[in-house]
Structure 1
Amino acid sequence: MLRQLFYNKVGIVLLLTIVLSIAIFIYANDLGDTSKEIALAIASSLFATAIFTVFYNVFTFQTTSSILDDSIGQQLQNSKDEIVQSVKAYYKEYVPDRIFEGSNAPAKAFGQDLIKEIQATDTYSFRGISGKRTAIRIELVRGKLTEVRLNLINPADQNALVERANLMLSIDQMPQTLENVEKVVTRIKKDVFSCLAGLYYYGKTKCQTIVVAFQNGTSTSRLELLDDAIYISLYDDGYQRYPETLKFSRETKIYRLYQLEFQKEFKQISARSSITISSNTSEEEFIQQLSSLGVLNDISIETIKIYRDEYERLRSLYINKNDLYSLT
């Protein structure tokens, strides 16, 4: 900064003034008392003026630089937005409507946007891991959903559970010990079963039919497909608890691509391993379906009610505390 200051003419003059004031200080020692006082006064004034001017210029330079940086930064952001809008104007079928940044805390902007879309949809499809918040999402629907399809991890697939557990431990920066992996696997299973209990005891009142398919292997992304939008989140994107999410509208080719992919995938998986829940499904029928798939050992009504209590605890965090926008 000082180097830049002394590269201009003002800097050269200041440098010469300082040198001159020092020279007068030295010369004053050889003068008489009166002349010496006059010389010292002149030298002091010149030196003080030079130092003040230096600091003033430095301060002005910093302030101007800060203003210019902010101005340039804003211009760059405006240019970026203009470029995105320009690209979207020509390639709107491929550009997301919104991008929700990933973070380690609930993304309320995403939750708010998702709730708005859910409250207006007639269908809801989900592909992910445990789906533990899907029943809460369904409860927020104002009307009644005509179709709900969920593609969840198979709680009987130990390899998939371990793979997912290792990823979660990496996100939390925890050692991938056998003990830690087993704890996470247990938690994933609990989340899946509490999701199923929530769908049965609460979700079915908002739906004509709920079909839950259990996939072998683990998803690399989470999809939430609604009538007018799809939300796509990469689970391993930047190792964040709440990953970046892209929202595409129904008019985009991306929406259509993932819609067709989900339909094909869900048809294949549900043919092998799935359960169906409707308003007429009894507890005995619900338990029988789970038993026939082998996803839960020693299952009973009491077991299901334990998981229902687990779901209700999760539900209370959002609905009872009116914290829906953290529902990510």
Structure 2
Amino acid sequence: MTKEVLDQVATWGFSTVLAAAVVFGFFPKFVVHILVLIYPRNHPRRLELLAELEAIPCRKRLVWVAEQLATVLFDGIPARVSDVRARRRIRASKTTTSTLQRASVVEKSRRTLKKEFFPSDVFEATTHPDPAFNRLLMADLNATEKYFFRGFSGQHAAARLLLSRTERESRVIIADPRDAGSINRRARYLLRHGPADDDFEQIQARLEEEIKIGLVGLFLARHRCVQVDITVMADPPLDRLELFDDSVWVSLHGDQHAVTEVYPRTLRFTEASFIYNMERADFLRISQAPTGRHFRITPATTREDFLALSKTITGVVLSDEQFRELEVKFDAFMADFSPDVELGAELSHMPAPQTGA
């Protein structure tokens, strides 16, 4: 083999032999390897063309490669275009599916966040009663079996109980009238945010009286409840809380505009929300704390029982005359409160509350 190559080099010259090797040996294989790349990946013609080339004699390869060039142009290019389009459709389908999945996850997360942390209803602070607010709150009250209230005094809780028609279990958390710090801190807050001519001592006296009026109101509302459990705590939160079976209402009295508005901004959360469960758990923790001061009023509680209970809660003996004065003041509060909730007509049809045994 080597002798033959040397003889050909001697006869034809080195350059001629090299050119022949390139033209009949290297060039056909190189071109065919380029042509097969036109076909899509894994196309059977890729392997077929390479195998056919090996079966073609060297002297006929140039003509054969030229023939395959035309075949590949009219056969391989359409196959490649079809393959590219199919890949794009698959990729677009995957992208669309992925986009829809992401959108579904985002929407699900948005709904979860909205349900867990965002209020179902928002009522802005106003100087006039909002009919929608009162209508929805009273609907929640009339549909609930348990009514939990947390505020500085129990006036609003007692008023709502008297305005409702359903007997229920009620729990109330109010400020401890025997804790001077609670009243002083609330008085200072009202003094800072109230009118400039407010007097600190007058605010203190008004707050102490509101607690007593609220207690009298809860006593008057006892026939609307299975029982009224009262917990007094030092320095309750500024925001008023009203919790029902299906919702919780948070009146933002701690908002900077709440003091200047008669009706503060109020948020309603459904029972499926995180806020509802958090507020309920916190309420039950306080109302059931073994170290707390807890009291109970039932339909069987007499006036004498209540006067003794009032002394235990407030530390002050309440006479019959003082009781009647507080009862008159609570009736005045009810007269102002019932039109606000647009139920004054219903109030006129209710039997007078029993205050005796």
If the TM-score is normalised by the length of the shorter chain, which range does it land in? 0.5 to 0.7
What corresponds to 1:184 in structure 2?
203
Within the alignment, does 1:130 sit opposite 2:147 as a pair? Answer: no
CA RMSD, 1 decimal: 2.3
1:223 to partner: Cα distance: 0.9
Which structure has the larger Rg? 2
Within the alignment, does 1:312 sit opposite 2:331 as a pair? Answer: yes
Within the alignment, does 1:281 sit opposite 2:304 as a pair? Answer: no
Partners of 1:325 and 1:296 in 2: how far apart?
37
What corresponds to 2:138 in structure 1?
115
The one-character-per-residue Cα deviations of 1:172-214 (angstroms, maximum 9, x if unpaired) are 23257xxx1111111111111111111112x111101001111
Partners of 2:111 and 2:292 in 1: how far apart?
43
Within the alignment, does 1:256 sit opposite 2:277 as a pair? Answer: yes
Paired letter, 1:211: D
SS at structure 1 position matched to 2:258: coil
1:268 to partner: Cα distance: 1.7
Q: Where in structure 1 are there 5+ consecutive unaligned residues?
A: 1-84
**Contact between 2:239 and 2:252, CA under 8 Å: does it hold in 1?**
yes
What corresponds to 1:72 in structure 2?
none
The one-character-per-residue Cα deviations of 1:63-86 (angstroms, maximum 9, x if unpaired) are xxxxxxxxxxxxxxxxxxxxxx98
Partners of 2:333 and 2:237 in 1: how far apart?
23
Paired letter, 1:273: R
1:104 to partner: Cα distance: 4.1
Partners of 2:108 and 2:194 in 1: how far apart?
39
TM-score normalised to structure 2 length: 0.61
Paired letter, 2:161: I
**Contact between 1:209 and 1:276, CA under 8 Å: does it hold in 2?**
yes
Summarize the Cα distance change of 1:99–1:88 in structure 2 as closer, same or farther, 3 Å threshold: farther
The structure showing larger relative contact order (alpha-carbon pairs under 8 Å, at least 6 residues apart) is 1
Within the alignment, does 1:89 sit opposite 2:111 as a pair? Answer: yes
TM-score normalised to structure 1 length: 0.66
SS at structure 2 position matched to 1:227: coil
SS at structure 2 position matched to 1:208: strand
Within the alignment, does 1:204 sit opposite 2:222 as a pair? Answer: yes
Summarize the Cα distance change of 1:167–1:107 in structure 2 as closer, same or farther, 3 Å threshold: farther
Moved over 3 A (4+): 85-88, 103-109
1:87 to partner: Cα distance: 6.9
1:260 to partner: Cα distance: 0.7
Q: Where in structure 2 are there 5+ consecutive unaligned residues?
A: 1-106, 345-357
Number of residue pairs the alignment of both structures matches:
234
**Contact between 1:127 and 1:222, CA under 8 Å: does it hold in 2?**
yes
Partners of 2:167 and 2:343 in 1: how far apart?
23
What corresponds to 2:64 in structure 1?
none
1:292 to partner: Cα distance: 2.6
Paired letter, 1:172: G
SS at structure 1 position matched to 2:172: strand
Query: Which of residues 166, 191, 211 in structure 2 aligns to 1:169?
Result: 191
1:138 to partner: Cα distance: 0.7
What corresponds to 1:234 in structure 2?
252
Partners of 1:302 and 1:109 in 2: how far apart?
39
